[in-house]
Amino acid sequence: MNFSLLLPSGLLALTALILPLLIHLSRRSEQKPTDFAALRWISAQLRPRRKLVFQEILLLILRILLLVALAIFLAKPTSMHAVPPKHWVVLVPGADISGIKNLALKQTSEWHWLTPGFPDFKDTPPASDVPVSSLLRELDALLPANASVTVVVPETLTGLDGERIRLGRKVDWKIVPGDMPAKTRTEKSQPIRLAIRHDEKHNGDAIYFRAAHAAWQTEQKVSEKQALDSADILSPIKPDRSALVWLSVGELPVDIRDWINKGGSIIVSKQTVVPELKSGVAAWRNEQGKVLTIAAPLGQGRIMQWQQELKPEAMPELLDADFPEKLKSLLQTKSLAPTRAFAKSQTPLIGGQAGPKALQSLQTWLALLIALLLVLERWLANSSRRRSAA
Partner 1 sequence: MSIIDLIPIDVRARLKALRLQARRISGAQGIGQHQSRSRGAGLEFAQYRAYEPGDEPRQIDWKLYARSDKFFVREAERDSPLIVWCLIDATASMGQSDAANPAWSRLQAAKALTACVIELALKQGDLFGLIAVNDVGLRVINAGSGTRHRDLCLLELHKLKAEGAWPNETQCRPIWERIGANTLVLLLSDDYDDACVALAERLAAARREVLSVQILTAEERDFPFQGGHRFRDAETDTELLTDAAASRSGFIEQFSFAKKTLSARFAASGINHVEYVLDQPLDAPLRKFFLSRNSQHQESV
**Residue 46 interacting with partner 1 (CB under 8 A):** yes
Comparing CB distances to partner 1, the nearer of 39 and 104 is 39
Q: How far is the CB of 22 from partner 1 (least distance, A)?
A: 16
**Residue 185 interacting with partner 1 (CB under 8 A):** no
User: Residue 280 in contact with residue 295, Cβ under 8 Å?
Assistant: yes
Q: How far is the CB of 36 from partner 1 (least distance, A)?
A: 4
User: Residue 152 in contact with residue 174, Cβ under 8 Å?
Assistant: yes
Comparing CB distances to partner 1, the nearer of 35 and 287 is 35
> Contact region for partner 1 (CB under 8 A) — 44-52, 309-317, 346-354, 372-380?
44-52
Q: How far is the CB of 35 from partner 1 (least distance, A)?
A: 5
d(CA 178, CA 114): 15
Comparing CB distances to partner 1, the nearer of 321 and 390 is 390
Comparing CB distances to partner 1, the nearer of 41 and 288 is 41
User: Residue 259 in contact with residue 244, Cβ under 8 Å?
Assistant: yes
Query: Which 3-42 positions form the footprint of partner 1 (CB under 8 A)?
Result: 26, 29-42
**Residue 51 interacting with partner 1 (CB under 8 A):** yes
Query: Which 259-288 positions form the footprint of partner 1 (CB under 8 A)?
Result: none
Q: Work out which of 6, 12, 16, 53 binds partner 1, going by CB under 8 A.
A: 53
What count of Cα atoms within 13 Å lies in the side-chain half-sphere of residue 3? 11
Comparing CB distances to partner 1, the nearer of 30 and 240 is 30
Comparing CB distances to partner 1, the nearer of 1 and 389 is 389
Q: How far is the CB of 26 from partner 1 (least distance, A)?
A: 5
Q: What HEC string does 269-328 produce?
A: CCCEECHHHHHCEEEEECCCCCEEEEEEEECCEEEEEECCCCCCCCCHHHHCCCHHHHHH
User: Residue 125 in contact with residue 152, Cβ under 8 Å?
Assistant: no
Query: Which 359-388 positions form the footprint of partner 1 (CB under 8 A)?
Result: none
The residues, any chain, with a CB within 8 Å of residue 13's CB and separated by 6 or more, are 67, 70, 71, 74
The residues, any chain, with a CB within 8 Å of residue 39's CB and separated by 6 or more, are none
First to last CA, the chain: 49
**Residue 321 interacting with partner 1 (CB under 8 A):** no
Q: Work out which of 43, 102, 107, 288 binds partner 1, going by CB under 8 A.
A: 43
d(CA 153, CA 92): 5
Q: Which region, left, alpha or beta, applies to residue 76 given φ > 0 means left and ψ of -120 to 50 means alpha? A: left
* Torsion angle, alpha carbons of 27, 28, 29, 35, to 10: 160
Comparing CB distances to partner 1, the nearer of 35 and 255 is 35
Q: Which residues bind partner 1 (CB under 8 A)?
A: 26, 29-49, 51, 53, 390
